[in-house]
Structure 1
Amino acid sequence: MPQTIRTLIVDDERYNRDELHFLLSQHECIDIIGEAETGEACIVKAIQLQPDLVFLDIEMPIMNGMKAADSLKELRKVPFIVFATAHPQFAAEAFRYEAIDYLLKPYDEEQLQQTISRIQQRLIADSPQVPVPTGKLPVEADGDIYYLDPADILYIYRDDKLSRIVSKKGRFEVKTPLKELEVRLVPFSFFRIHKSYLVNLRCVTRLSPWFNGAFQLEVEGQKEQLSVSRNYVKELKKRLEL
């Protein structure tokens, strides 16, 4: 089963907490275990609940997000920290606290997805005792059930309420949402390059600049060029390169 990410939301404004709670609830890998409205309450709940991840507002009265992050670093179990603020000028200082990401309000869903994918990969990398997954993806075709080895899947895209799978063994379609497939396939080196596309990084052969910061990507044996959203380009390059 995919590892769930125990998540604590910290923000002094109820509307912002509700918005982030809603967006995170769309991701099956996220388990929201609590909320806090002050830096002090954040520390208390982090000690009690031991979250894997804390979404932390910066501008809060008395103890701001920076001070709270500094205290979180002293815990026995140090959570991943994602700073969230409406003010971009705090970014440089925020990363001194070893934050895994920095998100601006109002939240961009693609950037949030990219952040969650990065945290999933870090959790996998930090858990060497977890065995290498060996499962296969079941798909139906003409009444039969085929079991696809993830290594044979080139990419998957969402189209007309179906997830269409392009593999070395042929093309298939399933009703399973792309988000659910992503959770299953992240341990097998899959990465979302666009809100509608999931690609096997082991099969990528070429990345070309397109326009407005976006790129196009090619995979083994396929003529189609896949669009890479500019929000995913930086992380994609990092994941592809040694």
Structure 2
Amino acid sequence: MGLAAQLAVPASLADQAYEGIRDRLVMLDIRPGDPLNDDALAQELGTGRTPVREALKRLEGDRLVVAYPRRGTFATAVDITDLAHISDIRAQLEPLAASRAAENSSAATRARLADLAEDVAGLEARISDRRELLRRDVRVHREIYRAAGNPYLEDILVRQDNLATRIWCLFLDRIPAIAGHVGEHVALLEAIVEGDADTAGRLALEHVVGFERAVRAVL
């Protein structure tokens, strides 16, 4: 079970369906353009059709699925032309979230982030699966957003990071430095734990810029 799952409060069936389908869409386990079948997803997730339908409505708002009358619901395409728009938002808000996390985190949150930094520091030696490394990257981002203490900021950034991760997945096999990219989070997490808001903000910005640069280098 992942760290986020261990720390989460019990979720409703609709929330479980939403998170399960969302993460499949983000990691491209459900490929862009694939149809989403209510019955098949309900059986796979064990949640029933109504929670799946509620989840799909939420995911449409996240720009992860699109519904067409009389045709059904499909995973949205990954459009590389969206990269500049997504990066523009993240370049403004990721540093803000990191700075706020450094300023506002409780002792318990700092301890959790310190443990996460230690885990990330050894990833390259322990994990060679690029998709698993990317899942760890997503986990770190979500933990930092939550630590910022602003649920509205967290919501925006989770959505944008989901879209960015889909782009990353599209080029995952062509980008050589995925482990190094994830490893950048160690210094960022340590800055947050130490309460160094300026350094945390700067490192968050460098991370976002580095992501866009790495993707554009393989286009």
- What interval of TM-score do these two structures reach, taking the shorter chain for normalisation? under 0.3
Q: Tell me the TM-score normalised to structure 1 length.
A: 0.25
Q: Tell me the TM-score normalised to structure 2 length.
A: 0.27
Structure number with higher helix proportion: 2
Structure number with higher strand proportion: 1
Using CA pairs below 8 Å that are at least 6 residues apart, which structure has the higher relative contact order? 2
User: Which is greater in Rg?
Assistant: 1
